[in-house]
């Protein structure tokens, strides 16, 4: 078995039909903390993608099709065991690829990958043995029953912000339903998807059930996958614009899609909230993973009575964050993913000033006395004073930044929060339970948290309205997407 840090990190290859496969074209994988090259990655050409899709098709019709739900579930638990066995290796690979603090990768990313396999293994077993496989309505003169089948070969395309968490969030239910997958992780974070191949081997998944192809989007691996006629469905997480491009691309072959896209999420903080809890919650909701979580709140609305003290409190939180080396336990703010993304975030910092914002803190690049100056760090940043029509209020920035505005009434707060083309998440802070329910039910989003943020139960529906996505995954919603009912009607 190749040792990940010894071999794979230096040369990350595609994984097709149970084998690591090299190629002629390579691209560099950078450490965002200091810009150094940590690996060379093999870019999959069209022939590699074709090979992976064919391997996935063969596997779909082979041993994998004969394995019943109980055994599939038990192998997925073994994948979870295999990730746990290599826990440190996964953590180090994720930290090196993303620059995220080691504390975050060890508490969130890798444990959630394990949980994704365990939850969907259990869910498919329980529901499959009870009612998921057959629906039998009480027909008067006919017996109807629907048998659920896998969709087939599923193309899984994922982003760089929570690489293994988001990849396994899709791979686990897809495999639980009996599909096979060809995954294309982000070109920025190819490591943990490749390491997962070893866990799949350990768990005894047949060759071809899990395949990894590396590369870029347009004119590269991503597009080869979405256009491939042998791919039966695409599940995608990433930018809304990319979702639109993929939709066009899959139209010719009419593939079902599940899209988890961008957000411009709002938080509403009422004066009756528990102030300290709201402040801590919002500090996470704005700055966690350097603001690179689709659920992060870049728009914060605070009731006027507590506006000044809240702005002051969040400023103190922002200034207390430690932009350290990702591998240090005390670090709580890593770099952004790439130089290109840092340029984008900094362009919004400049735009905010041009649009008339009042800078509360941050707005630039931190200064270091070491090689972090070659990394992609930016300062956590807070603005006030922008009109609601400003581009910085309308467009997703995806950095450690928020704008705070005051409101006077519940109706005004709801109207401002909903005034967006996105609709992923919202977070409401109040000690009035009635108000919590009332406001939450008026949010035009896929998920609303009350007095918390990013508190997850993996059985609940997850996804977005508007530009934030198509469909819902999570729990039975995932199992429904990754399978297809075949209804059989027998006349009695
Ligand atoms: P991105 O859309 O640029 O890339 C995502 C993936 O799509 C990558 O693997 C990329 O190579 C691939 N890709 C790009 N163009 C493609 C094309 N034309 N055809 C096929 N594949 C293509 O997104 P990103 O920059 O990696 O991630 C950040 C974005 O993802 C943000 O907008 C964020 O809000 C969103 N996101 C959403 C969720 C959610 O659950 N809603 C979760 C995480 C991230
Ligand atoms: O928690 C999840 O299941 C999920 N899909 C989170 C998405 C986070 C976005 O960056």
Q: Which helix (H) or strand (E) holds 368?
A: none
Cα angle for residues 267, 271, 274 (degrees, 5° grid): 80
Identify the pLDDT of residue 421.
98
Q: Is 179 within the bounds of a domain?
A: yes
CA distances from 316 to 213, 269, 313, 385, 397 (A): 44, 17, 5, 19, 22
- Name the residue at shortest CA distance from atom 5 of ligand 2: 166
Asked if residue 218 and residue 151 are part of one domain, the reply reads yes
pLDDT per position as a tens digit, 66-124: 998 999 999 999 999 999 999 999 999 999 999 999 999 999 999 999 999 999 999 99
Q: Supply the mean pLDDT for the chain.
A: 95
Asked if residue 232 and residue 348 are part of one domain, the reply reads no
Q: Is 463 within the bounds of a domain?
A: no
Q: For residues 209 and 180, what is the distance between their CA atoms, to the nearest angstrom?
A: 5
Residue of 220, 238, 295, 462 to mutate, ligand 1, most atoms within 8 A of C-beta:
238
Q: For residues 339 and 341, what is the distance between their CA atoms, to the nearest angstrom?
A: 5
Nearest to 236 by CA among 186, 172, 290, 292: 186
Q: Which atom of ligand 2 is nearest to the CA of 458?
A: 3
Q: Is there a contact between 150 and 60 (Cβ–Cβ < 8 Å)?
A: yes
pLDDT per position as a tens digit, 6-46: 444 489 999 999 999 998 899 999 999 999 999 999 999 99
Identify the pLDDT of residue 135.
66
Q: Is there a contact between 363 and 296 (Cβ–Cβ < 8 Å)?
A: no
The band of 253, judged by pLDDT with boundaries at 50, 70 and 90, is very high
The band of 273, judged by pLDDT with boundaries at 50, 70 and 90, is very high
Token look-up 């050409």 returns 45
Q: Which domain holds residue 412?
A: 265-457
Residue 467 tokens, joined: 């530009």
Any residues with Cβ below 6 Å from ligand 1, and which?
157-161, 166, 184, 186-187, 216-218, 222-223, 226, 237-239, 242, 245-246, 260-263, 294, 396, 398, 424, 464, 468-469
Asked if residue 444 and residue 395 are part of one domain, the reply reads yes
- Name the residue at shortest CA distance from atom 43 of ligand 1: 294
Q: For residues 17 and 211, what is the distance between their CA atoms, to the nearest angstrom?
A: 7
Asked if residue 152 and residue 32 are part of one domain, the reply reads yes
Asked if residue 477 and residue 442 are part of one domain, the reply reads no
- Name the residue at shortest CA distance from atom 30 of ligand 1: 238
- Whether 213 shows a pLDDT value over 60: the answer reads yes
Q: Is 328 within the bounds of a domain?
A: yes
Q: How many angstroms is it from 42 CA to the middle of ligand 2? A: 27
Q: Is 1 within the bounds of a domain?
A: no
CA distances from 126 to 35, 169, 475, 476, 484 (A): 47, 19, 12, 11, 18
Asked if residue 69 and residue 20 are part of one domain, the reply reads yes
What is the average per-residue pLDDT within 137-143?
A: 77
User: What is the total count of domains within the chain?
Assistant: 2
Asked if residue 223 and residue 95 are part of one domain, the reply reads yes
Asked if residue 316 and residue 208 are part of one domain, the reply reads no
Residue 223 CB neighbours (<10 A): 20
Q: Is 207 within the bounds of a domain?
A: yes
Q: For residues 93 and 337, what is the distance between their CA atoms, to the nearest angstrom?
A: 14
Q: Is 62 within the bounds of a domain?
A: yes
Identify the pLDDT of residue 8.
44
- Name the residue at shortest CA distance from atom 9 of ligand 2: 294
Asked if residue 269 and residue 232 are part of one domain, the reply reads no
Asked if residue 479 and residue 438 are part of one domain, the reply reads no
pLDDT per position as a tens digit, 303-347: 999 999 999 999 999 999 999 999 999 999 999 999 999 999 999
The band of 146, judged by pLDDT with boundaries at 50, 70 and 90, is confident
Asked if residue 71 and residue 178 are part of one domain, the reply reads yes
Percent of the chain past pLDDT 90, that is, above it, reads 91
Q: Give the residue numbers marked as catalytic.
A: 260, 294
Q: How many angstroms is it from 76 CA to the middle of ligand 2? A: 20
Q: Which atom of ligand 2 is nearest to the CA of 293?
A: 10
Residue of 227, 242, 397, 422 to mutate, ligand 1, most atoms within 8 A of C-beta:
242
Identify the pLDDT of residue 147.
84
Q: Is 409 within the bounds of a domain?
A: yes
Q: How many angstroms is it from 480 CA to the middle of ligand 1? A: 23
- Whether 3 shows a pLDDT value over 70: the answer reads no
Identify the pLDDT of residue 151.
96
Any residues with Cβ below 6 Å from ligand 2, and which?
161-162, 166, 169, 260, 293-295, 456, 462
Token look-up 């922002």 returns 318
Q: For residues 432 and 99, what is the distance between their CA atoms, to the nearest angstrom?
A: 39
Which ligand ends up closest to the CA of 261? 1
The band of 142, judged by pLDDT with boundaries at 50, 70 and 90, is confident
Residues 6+ apart with CB under 8 A from 103: 329, 331, 332
Identify the pLDDT of residue 416.
98
Asked if residue 412 and residue 380 are part of one domain, the reply reads yes
For residue 103, the domain's CATH number is 3.40.605.10
What is the average per-residue pLDDT within 259-283?
A: 98
- Whether 484 shows a pLDDT value over 90: the answer reads yes
- DSSP letters, 174-217, are HHHTT-EEEEE--TT--HHHHHHHHHHHHTTPPTTSEEE----S
Q: How many angstroms is it from 65 CA to the middle of ligand 1? A: 31
What is the average per-residue pLDDT within 415-422?
A: 98
Nearest to 377 by CA among 339, 415, 409: 339
Q: For residues 167 and 156, what is the distance between their CA atoms, to the nearest angstrom?
A: 7
For residue 443, the domain's CATH number is 3.40.309.10
Q: Is 290 within the bounds of a domain?
A: yes
The band of 131, judged by pLDDT with boundaries at 50, 70 and 90, is low
């Amino acid at each position: 078995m190749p040792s990940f840090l010894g071999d794979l990190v230096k040369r990350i290859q595609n994984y097709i039909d149970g084998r690591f496969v090299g190629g002629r074209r390579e691209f560099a994988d950078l450490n965002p903390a200091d810009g150094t090259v940590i690996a060379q990655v093999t870019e999959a050409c069209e022939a590699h993608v074709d090979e992976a899709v064919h391997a996935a098709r063969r596997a779909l019709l082979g041993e994998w099709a004969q394995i019943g739900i109980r055994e599939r579930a038990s192998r997925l638990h073994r994948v979870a065991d295999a990730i746990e066995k290599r826990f440190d290796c996964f953590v180090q690979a994720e930290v090196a690829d993303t620059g995220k603090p080691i504390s975050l990768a060890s508490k969130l990313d890798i444990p959630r990958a394990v949980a994704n396999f365990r939850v969907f293994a259990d869910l498919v077993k329980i529901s499959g043995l009870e009612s998921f496989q057959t629906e039998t309505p009480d027909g008067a003169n006919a017996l109807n029953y629907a048998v659920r089948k896998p969709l087939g070969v599923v193309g899984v395309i994922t982003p760089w912000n929570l690489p293994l968490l988001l990849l396994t969030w899709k791979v686990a239910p897809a495999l639980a339903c009996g599909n096979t997958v060809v995954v294309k992780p982000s070109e920025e974070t190819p490591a943990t998807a490749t390491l997962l191949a070893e866990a799949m081997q350990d768990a005894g998944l047949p060759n071809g059930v899990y395949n990894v192809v590396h590369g870029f989007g347009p004119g590269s691996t991503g597009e080869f996958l979405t256009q491939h006629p042998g791919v039966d469905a695409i599940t995608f997480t990433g930018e809304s614009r990319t979702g639109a491009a993929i939709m066009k691309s899959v139209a010719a072959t009419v593939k079902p899609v599940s899209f988890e896209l961008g957000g411009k999420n709002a938080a509403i903080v009422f004066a009756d909230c528990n102030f300290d809890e709201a402040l801590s919650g919002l500090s996470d909701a704005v700055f966690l993973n350097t603001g690179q979580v689709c659920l992060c709140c870049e728009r914060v609305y605070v009731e006027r009575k507590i506006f000044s003290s809240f702005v002051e409190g969040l400023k103190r939180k922002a200034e207390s964050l430690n932009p350290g080396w990702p591998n240090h336990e005390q670090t709580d703010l890593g770099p952004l993913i790439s130089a290109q993304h840092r340029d984008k975030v900094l362009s919004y910092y400049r735009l905010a000033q041009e649009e008339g914002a009042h800078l509360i803190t941050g707005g630039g690049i931190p200064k270091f006395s070491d090689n972090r100056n070659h990394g992609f760090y930016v300062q956590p940043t807070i603005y006030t004073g922008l009109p609601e029509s400003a581009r910085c209020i309308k467009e997703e920035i995806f950095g450690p930044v928020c704008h705070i505005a005051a409101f006077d009434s519940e109706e005004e707060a709801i109207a401002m929060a909903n005034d967006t083309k996105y609709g992923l998440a919202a977070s409401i802070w109040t000690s009035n339970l009635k108000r919590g329910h009332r406001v939450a039910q008026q949010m035009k989003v896929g998920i609303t948290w009350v007095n918390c943020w990013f508190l997850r139960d993996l059985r609940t529906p997850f996804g977005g309205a508007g530009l934030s996505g198509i469909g819902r995954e999570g729990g039975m919603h995932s199992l429904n997407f990754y399978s297809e009912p075949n209804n059989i009607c027998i006349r009695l």
